[in-house]
Amino acid sequence: MTRFSRSPVTAVLGPTNTGKTHLAVERMCGHSSGMIGFPLRLLAREVYDRVVKLKGEKQVALITGEERIVPPDARYFLCTAESMPLDREVGFVALDEAQLGADPERGHVFTDRLLRARGRDETMILGSAALRPLVRTLVPDAEIVERPRFSTLSYAGAKKLSRLPKRSAIVAFSAEEVYAVAEAIRRLRGGAAVVMGALSPRTRNAQVAMFQAGEVDYLVATDAIGMGLNMDVAHVAFASLTKFDGRRTRRLTVAEMAQIAGRAGRHQRDGTFGALVEEGPGAFTPEEVFAIEEHRFPDLDFLYWRDGEPDLSSVAALIESLEAKPRDIVLRAAPEAVDLAVLKRLASEPWVLDRARGGGVARLWAACGIPDFRKLGVEPHSRFVARVFQHLTEGDGHIPFAWFAGEIARLDSVTGDVETIAGRIAGTRTWAYIAHRAGWIGDGIEARARTRALEEKLSDALHDRLTQRFVDKRTTALLRTIGADERHLPVVIDAQGEVSVEDHAIGRLDGFRFTVAPDARATDKRRLLAAAEKRLAGELAKRGKALAGADDASLVLDAGTIRWNGAGIATLGAGPQLTRPAIRLDRALDVLDKAARDAVAARLAAWFDAQTRRFTPALVQLDQLARDRTAPPPLRATATALGAAGGLADRAHIPDVEAIDAPARRTLRQHGITVGTLDLFDPRLLKPAAARWRAALLAARGVATTLPPEGATILDGGAPTAGFRRIAGQQVRVDLVERIARAAHDARQGRNPFAPDPALATSIGVRAETLAKLMARLGFVPAKGDVPRWIWRGRPKLVSPRIVAPARDNAFAALAGIDFGHG
């Protein structure tokens, strides 16, 4: 007991949401000084921020293992129970959640504070009503005040994750389970905030702020939320009812269930609780439900105890006093805690015992008190503590700043996933604890500043990772905005066609086709499509009007597809003539009314006709000539056949050309057609843009065409190519074949042997064997002698090369990558 043991002690007992902590803060602020011990660093920080607003920063201190803010004139101290400076005289002292004295791991700390922590003028013990008989026994002079809950807590039955009401907290009992539940909530309901006791206050506050601000409607947490953390929770759902308490996996006690369930509701607002399953070990029993709703729990019959002022005269005496049995029947010796296990492990080292002689025991015990934030286990943690103690008992008695700085630098990285960054924060908390121990590091101010800055940096990164991993902002916004009526969806479309809801992309509008974002959940796609169809009607109508008046520059023919500003809007099919294919509007344009579709169809037909006249004028004229009833029949037949072949044809394929007279030939020439020795062709169709347009026209009728490389005049082998004639092992462009033929006829003198100038053939890459084959096909035969000479024998009977039937299973396969620009 402290010297203030005779000061009035009040035990304020009751369930959650009775205002016990609020009352303690009010009472403390009414005194000239005060101190409150809390079970969590997070809760201490929360109350610290509240008191700072009331009293100002200069009068308020925060003391936890890893954080110490103590202004010189501080009068009000908010602490974790372990960090309460009991040697400081203050007017008021309170201990929150005192029933934690029954906790096997930390219970001895709360029991010690319940027995020894006293204020000069007033002391308050806050806790569950189950603590009543123990308070009467251990603090017989305490006045016990019981407070009723402000609101009703009722059982709402079992609900699946997908059916949980908004403002629900789902409680799990391991980090792995928390992450799994949060991931499921993200998929089902858009996302959740995550709260665990291991989070730093900065990360926890950022996550809770998302929940409080309504950015997410769900919170997934460990049982840390049961320790007085105030959040606007309407329903608490238990993911399970068992937990590993450090020694075994067990079912929660009814009091523990009630402590957690009691987070539902706030002030006068009622709350509900339930499980995620109706049957099995994860379901509540009727007896448990009754006890929680009526706040009836078994009284505690013991608390754990360990000597709070152990004997520091020697290591042996220290261990003996820490393992001493309590004298009071309602107290039990605390199970061996990590600090005692580490002490006993180090006590087996001769060098430790040697350095602990004299005043070194206190320093050894202080080093053993370094928390195992990283959950390494006794053996690895003991090695770390041993190194700390070694530095504290040699040289100047300080931990080398170089070691500290190196460890901080190693932790200074924001890369990695949630677990990795959380692990770095745990390591940082260890060094923050060390930095806040007086005299352990030479430059303590700099050490504390570095750990604080690093924890804030890692905490921000962890918040970002948690948000990225467990919050789908697009789906959250969608569900919040739409509700059950997709018509309420506010659609925004940017210049690139991105469709978004509240700045969250949900898909793209390419032309008239809306595509759901590929990362949208399957369950959202139907809703997104329905919303888009209803809310994009105005935009689509606007686009239909713009397309009906589109300029030529915005339209392109690409591999059989007409594109408008890059989006496919129509395809080509077989029509009445080669130059007039059927233009089939894309099904995406079905969203337009009939008048709009007709206007679009008329605009595309006009554009296509203009482009056909521009790129292939001879084909248009051949169509007209074929229908000209005043033209001689052989000429009309020739025009029909040549037009159907796309203006390029082997002369052997058009036998009617042999029957046309000189005036008819002149007519063909006027239309741009060359009647060559072997081929009929329009030379303009050999130009790249015209060749591509011709290929598209043929493809619309199911005729695949192979186009040559741009600028090619000679090809070695390969598939039959448009505008080229295969001769020997080469393909020669038809206009060059005709030039060679004309040069040969110009060089001959009747039927006498002659030697044509080989320069032309050589200049275009025609090999000697190819030229020989060509000369033979033109009607020349070689003359005898050593010098290559030729004799004219007259025009041979034309025999067409073997016709290869076009592939019709994929009419546009050969056009992949062809882009018909407006130029």
Is 9-146's fold the same as 153-294's?
A: yes
| Non-local CB neighbours of 341 within 8 Å, separated by 6+ positions | 378, 382
Q: Give whole-number Cα distances, 150 to 14, 99, 165, 231, 233, in Å.
A: 11, 20, 22, 15, 15
Residue 752: the pLDDT is 85
Query: Pairing relation of β-strands 92-95 and 122-127?
Result: parallel
Pick from 482-486, 530-534, 747-751 the range whose average pLDDT is largest. Answer: 747-751
Domain extents for the chain? Answer: 9-146, 153-294, 303-463, 473-535
The architecture of the domain spanning 9-146 is: 3-Layer(aba) Sandwich (3.40)
- Residue 113's closest CA among 88, 86, 137? 86
Query: At residue 374, does pLDDT exceed 80?
Result: yes
Task: Dump pLDDT digits (tens) for 730-766.
Answer: 899 999 999 888 888 888 888 888 887 777 778 778 8
**287 C-beta neighbours (distance < 10 Å), count:** 9
Lowest mean pLDDT among 118-127, 211-220, 596-605, 651-660: 651-660
**Helix (H, G, I), strand (E, B), or coil: what is residue 318?**
helix
Round to whole Å and give the CA distance between 91 and 31: 6
- Residue 522's closest CA among 467, 487, 472? 472
- Distance, first Cα to last Cα, the chain: 96
Residue 429: the pLDDT is 93
Task: Dump pLDDT digits (tens) for 40-49.
Answer: 888 899 899 9
Per the prediction, the chain carries an average pLDDT of: 86
Classified by CATH at the fold level, domain 153-294 comes out as Rossmann fold (3.40.50)
Lowest mean pLDDT among 38-52, 123-137, 602-616, 774-788: 774-788
Round to whole Å and give the CA distance between 436 and 369: 13
- For 75-118, the DSSP string reads -EEEEEGGG--TTS--SEEEESSGGGGG-TTTHHHHHHHHHH--
Lowest mean pLDDT among 464-468, 555-559, 633-637, 787-791: 787-791
Round to whole Å and give the CA distance between 463 and 476: 18
Exposed e or buried b for every residue in 707-726, given b needs 16+ CB within 10 A?
bbeeeebbbeeeebbbbbbb
Residue 814: the pLDDT is 42
**Helix (H, G, I), strand (E, B), or coil: what is residue 404?**
helix
Rounded percentage of the chain residues whose pLDDT exceeds 90: 45
Lowest mean pLDDT among 109-113, 721-725, 796-800: 796-800
The secondary element (H helix, E strand) that includes residue 730 is: strand 730-733
Average pLDDT over residues 150-160: 90
Residue 529: the pLDDT is 62
Query: Pairing relation of β-strands 648-650 and 780-782?
Result: unpaired
Query: At residue 821, does pLDDT exceed 60?
Result: no
Average pLDDT over residues 691-696: 90
Task: Dump pLDDT digits (tens) for 502-523.
Answer: 556 677 888 888 777 776 655 5
Average pLDDT over residues 415-421: 90
Asked if 680 contacts 657 with a C-beta cutoff of 8 angstroms, the reply is yes
Task: Dump pLDDT digits (tens) for 274-327.
Answer: 999 989 999 999 999 999 998 888 899 999 999 999 999 999 999 999 999 999
Of residues 26 and 226, more confidently modeled: 26
Residue 531: the pLDDT is 59
Q: What is the 3-state secondary structure (H, E, C) of 462-498?
A: HHHHHHHHHECHHHHHHHHHHCCCHHHCCCEECCCCE
Task: Dump pLDDT digits (tens) for 243-283.
Answer: 887 778 899 999 889 989 988 887 678 899 999 998 999 99
Q: How far is CA 348 from the centre of its chain?
A: 51
Query: Pairing relation of β-strands 60-63 and 68-69?
Result: antiparallel
Average pLDDT over residues 128-135: 94
Query: At residue 809, does pLDDT exceed 50?
Result: no
Rounded percentage of the chain residues whose pLDDT exceeds 70: 90
- pLDDT confidence bin for 428, thresholds 50/70/90: very high
**237 C-beta neighbours (distance < 10 Å), count:** 26
